């Protein structure tokens, strides 16, 4: 099985469907990460051989949760979507690739990571991505339909930042380790999932403004 079929099968096993061009763009993104990781510590060295499982599939888990929550991402043609603390581009760049009709804004204050995001935007031809190199608290942008985050603070700390970016009835989505958020509450909707390369369980959390 060639690499394209192999990765498409991997995505299919996780109930994620991308076309050939989108899957090839993920391959290009993987190579960018590996090349830049030699001079800039974007991700853990131990994650380099499992980028698809640990980072791509993790990011794209959001698509499945939107469907479960009866939020159709296919209707998001005019959606404004912000990603807080985008770092090496997770979850924002896999989502940009998967959802080309959505306008994404990656907010990342660190210069080296913001520079990498700009390179990725150019190399992957992501016309639906804007990079803002500012602190979340002072970026002075708002009225987003969706805000996401991954590996920032606690769920409540992230919500404190996200709520100022969201429009009324917007949704905040964050990815956490499951043992960091154990119970679904009236404020949070929780979807637990696993990754083949990881022993720990994870969860997607949703909260509406």
pLDDT of residue 68: 65
pLDDT of residue 67: 72
**What is the CATH number assigned to the segment(s) 3-208?**
3.40.50.150
Q: Is 76 exposed, middle or buried (0-12, 13-18, 19+ CB in 10 A)?
A: middle
pLDDT of residue 125: 98
Alpha carbon distance 145, 171 (integer Å): 6
Domain boundaries, the chain: 3-208
Residue ranges in the chain whose pLDDT is less than 50: 72
Give, in order, the Cα–Cα distances in Å from 157 to each of 38, 162, 186.
32, 9, 17
Alpha carbon distance 34, 42 (integer Å): 9
pLDDT of residue 183: 64
Q: Residue 91: is the preceding peptide bond cis (ω within 30°)? A: yes
Beta bridge partners of 192: 203
pLDDT of residue 181: 78
pLDDT of residue 184: 62
pLDDT of residue 134: 97
- pTM, two decimal places: 0.94
């Amino acid at each position: 099985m060639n690499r394209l079929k192999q990765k498409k099968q991997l995505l299919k096993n996780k109930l994620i469907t991308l076309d050939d061009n989108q899957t090839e763009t993920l391959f290009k993104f993987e190579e960018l990460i590996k090349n830049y990781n030699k001079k800039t510590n974007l991700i853990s060295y131990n994650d380099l051989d499992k980028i698809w499982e640990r980072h791509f599939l993790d990011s794209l888990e959001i698509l499945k949760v939107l469907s479960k929550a009866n939020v159709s991402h296919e209707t998001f043609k005019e959606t404004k979507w912000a990603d807080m603390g985008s770092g090496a581009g997770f979850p924002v760049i896999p989502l940009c690739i998967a959802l080309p009709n959505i306008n994404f804004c990656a907010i990342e204050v660190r210069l080296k990571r913001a520079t990498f995001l700009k390179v990725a935007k150019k190399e992957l031809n992501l016309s639906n991505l804007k990079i803002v190199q500012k602190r979340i608290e002072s970026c002075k942008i708002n009225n987003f339909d969706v805000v996401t985050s991954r590996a920032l603070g606690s769920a409540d700390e992230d919500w404190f930042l996200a709520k100022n970016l969201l429009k009324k009835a917007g949704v905040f989505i964050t990815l956490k380790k499951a043992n960091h958020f154990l119970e679904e509450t009236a404020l949070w909707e929780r979807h637990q999932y696993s990754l083949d390369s990881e022993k720990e369980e994870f969860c997607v959390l949703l909260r509406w403004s």
